[in-house]
Amino acid sequence: MPSVMRKIALIVLVFIAIGTLSFGKEREVERDMVPDAQVASLIADAVLVPIYGKEVLEQKPYKIRLADGHWIIDGVLHAKPGEVVVGGTVHIEIQKKDGAIRNVIHGK
pLDDT in tens, 39-89: 999 999 999 999 999 999 999 999 999 999 999 999 999 888 888 878 899
The pLDDT of residue 71 is: 98
Confidence label for 24 from pLDDT (cuts 50, 70 and 90): low
> Which residues, at least 6 apart from 77, have a Cβ–Cβ distance to it below 8 Å?
59, 85, 87, 89
Cα 60 to the center of its chain, rounded Å: 11
> Rounded to two decimals, what is the model's pTM?
0.71
The pLDDT of residue 27 is: 56
Q: Where are the domains positioned within the chain? A: 3-106
